[in-house]
Every structure is written in structure tokens, then in C-alpha cells.
Structure 1
């Protein structure tokens, strides 16, 4: 896990990575999600609240599958008190429902909601349409394909009431995240990213 403000070599945004390779396996998503939670927690611990936390704020290094958080242009000082709705500048898909219903929000529950949306995107390859379904609790999770544990974690992070959402510690201690990611799955995604890099160079030649 790393927090940075420069674009490292041989990296691409998580948005591009997922759109290029399709939805991720649970094992690959687990490997990346753990890093994402730690990075966001690190920011809040050091007094930085990212109001625009979304899938495009993360970079994946193809050779390592390490995740890095970047782009702090829309950030502010962290505080325990509520923020007003107009302090939130974020993507619609990662906007917690209390922005619309209560016209105020707190930093940690808002970031937890965004992390839930991130995990949803990882394993579905897209956000639900229309995005407003998120605000109504209609998550449209593919429960036939996904494990009960990951479905439970997504629903918990994206609970409509902020007080019903987990803390970062509870997310990291969740049964789904405590399972070690499959080395085979991580190796597969590394190989796919590596092959893409060489195909790209060939096309540019």
C-alpha cells in the first residue's frame, strides 16, 4: 500500500485496469481491496479527507499488482464534525446517500461507502444503472456468482445509514478480507498486464 502524488512507471488507473481486463476475481479484488482500505485509513490518520474517492484515484502497478492512491486535488482537512453537503465534490457513483437525504455527512462513513462502491465495481466490472439505485439500497449484486462473504461486505459498507457502516478496522477484520488471496489469481493478472504492455509496445512500433 502506498499514497503518492506522482504517476509511477508501468502503472495504470484501476478504472482502466478493470475495464481492460473485465471484472476481477474475488481473489484479485481481495488483494487490491485490502490495500485500498489501508491507504484511505492512512490518509484520515494523517488528517487528510479525500472527498472525491473513486476507482480512478487508484493506480495499479502491472508487475506487482500493488495499489497506490493518488490525486489529492479534491481533499480537505479531516474533522470529526459533520461536513455540509456542498463540501462534497465527488463522482455520483461514490456519493453516499446522506449527501442527498441529510444534506450533511461525516468523513469516515463517506469513505467507507466509496470503498464499498469500489469493491462493487471490482467484481462486477461496472456500476449499476441508473446510479441512483445505489442511493435506494438497490445494489443489484450478482449473488449467484459471488460468495456470500463478499456480498455481505459490500452491503455492509454501502448501508444506507452511516451509523450502520463498518469502521476501517472492521472491514480489515471481515472474514472475506482475512482470507489470503490466491497466488494463482494474482499471477494470472500480472501475466495479463505484462502481455498487454508488450502488445501495446508492438502496436506503437
Structure 2
């Protein structure tokens, strides 16, 4: 059984004239350890699809199965717990808490279950070492470069060993050197954790590094080859 199965996903919004269709009959199946890029022009529905796969938005129709469970069949409280347990997010704008240091921001997903225990703190230290921030643990986000903030976001996304890691334009605000470093981290670390990685990107360089690539075109998801 595949770890992620999206079937016939559609999303539209009613308007007085006609429905505003964002996604139409999207199918996507990925196994644990696989990675994929989703490309397409601005406004094509890439971020909407990522939000649905991340259980942040509900499709108008279609089904989603993550680890043999339909997250949309859960209550809102159970959905929040499901996201925290199984899904990690890496955003272009980082979404780091400005008053918290690097270690505290990395531990943020662990706070949903109370005070992080010794094992979780040890994992946070391990992840921050992997992303090269072992000397920045007590720095605030304002004291970091854009590339360093994005590396914190990668470490935070992996804290709870999620099955699914979703990255929305993770290299969009970075220079070429930092974009390459983040790309390498995103490819290596989820694979080592046997997680699925899905990246929404405008970067063809990043998309070419992924095992699979899809293009959102005319509201449908189509395989893309280079």
C-alpha cells in the first residue's frame, strides 16, 4: 500500500457567475522515501494542492489517504494532531518565531504534547548539527542569514520524524549558493528518514534534482520530463 494516495482531488469556489475551479481531478501516489517536485506558473494551484496534501485545506471532492488513514474524516482537533505527528512543513518565509532562538524554534512541533523530553531535545540537537547550525543554537532568527533561517525550518520540519515533508518554494528567497545547500539537505534528510518529500517550486534546477516531477497545467497534474 502506497504511503500517500490522492485520488480525484478537485477544489473550487462558488461565485455568482460560475464556480472558480482551482484543481480538477488530481491524482498523486507516492511511496515512503520518494520525492517529487510540483511546478507550474503562479496561480496554477500549486500551493492549494500542497495545503490539501498537508491537511490545511479540504478538497471540494476527492480522497486523500496518508498512511492508510483519511485525515479529512477526523475531527478538527484530531486533524491538528495528525498534522503534527505525520506532516512536516518547510515554508519559503520560514515562519520562525522571532522571540525564540534556533533551538526553541526547532522544538516547536514538540510543544503540542507538552514540554519536550530529553529524547526530543537530543533529536533537535542532532538535526541542527546535520544542517550545520550547531554553533547557532541560541541565536534569534534576526541574527541569522536567510539560508540559515531556512535550515532551521528544515530541521523543525523533521523533528517528529514525519511521513510527509512538504516544502513550498524553499529556495525562492535564497541566493544560488544557499539554494543549492538547501536543495541538497531537502533531498538527503527526508530520504534518510524514509519520508516522502514534495516540493512546490519555480526552480527548474531544484525540480530536476527530484526523482519525479509533475506540472500543474490547466488545473490538472501531469507528469513532467526534462
TM-score range, shorter chain: under 0.3
Select the structure with the greater relative contact order (CA < 8 A; seq sep ≥ 6): 2
| Structure that is richer in helix per residue | 1
Q: Which has the larger radius of gyration?
A: 2
